[in-house]
Amino acid sequence: MSETPCTKCAWLLQLYLDGELDETEACEAEVHLDACGYCRRQYRFERAFREYLRQTLTGEPMSPELRGKLVALRATAHPADGA
């Protein structure tokens, strides 16, 4: 079981947390996390940190100006069919 920084951690961890790995890659990440103590600790930290950010930031209301900009960007990026 590895306890030192691992090159797999750098590329697998963020993609795994973001749910961006296909089924085979996700399985590989899970097997690696089971075997690598360093990566497992990094994973737990990142997961907890993301949850903390989600809980902390969701309570802050978005300014009307920012909301308007985001709505405009979304409309530009995903124009309605037939428009």
Q: What is the pLDDT of residues 8-58, one digit of tens each?
A: 677 778 889 989 999 998 998 899 889 888 889 999 999 999 998 888 877
Q: What is the CA radius of gyration of the chain?
A: 18
Question: 7-17 and 37-57 are packed helices; what angle lies between their axes, rounded to 10 degrees?
Answer: 30
* Mean of pLDDT values over 51-77: 83
Question: pTM for the whole thing?
Answer: 0.60
Please tell me the distance from the alpha carbon of residue 79 to that of residue 62, in angstroms, as a whole number: 23
